[in-house]
Amino acid sequence: MGTWDFGPFDNDSAADWCGDLQDADPARRIELIRDTLTEVLHEGEYLDSHEGSAAVAAAAVIASQLPGGSPLTSAYAPDFLKAKDGALEIPADLPPLALRALDRVAGDDSEWRDLWEDGLPKALTALHPIRETLQSAAE
């Protein structure tokens, strides 16, 4: 996995996933996000970094669309969400699903976590604002 920074979109897997979301039929985008998060929760004993990075990007997309969420400014985030009129209607079940997926990604049996090694505190800190926004929406 090529990684260039700690942000949710700053790796090849997340950037590729964002491209897939950008190219998806607008009517299927929520389904793609839900499938990405669900896949992480149903992955085998050890979570692959590709799926983990995609789930982090999906969680960041959800958080960006919620009250208090940070707007997406990364060049690798989906372009349609950076547009002035770009938005997704986030169903109530997605924030708690995203929180569970982030728990799995940051958990002990995750390649995403293992690949960060010395940078893990910074990687987990980068997830903090996403988690806060999701948590507020899930309550």
Cα-based angle 126, 132, 133 (whole degrees, multiple of 5):
105
Domain residue ranges of the chain, discontinuous segments joined by +: 12-138
Q: What is the pLDDT of residues 52-71, one digit of tens each?
A: 999 999 999 999 999 999 88
Q: For residues 63 and 130, is the Cβ–Cβ distance under 8 A?
A: yes
- Predicted confidence (pLDDT) at residue 27 exceeds the cutoff of 90: yes
pLDDT tier, 132 (very low <50, low <70, confident <90, very high otherwise): very high
Q: Between 71 and 85, whose confidence is greater?
A: 71
Which 3 state secondary structure label does DSSP give 7?
coil
Which H or E run contains 125? Answer: helix 120-138
Greatest Cα pair distance in the chain: 41
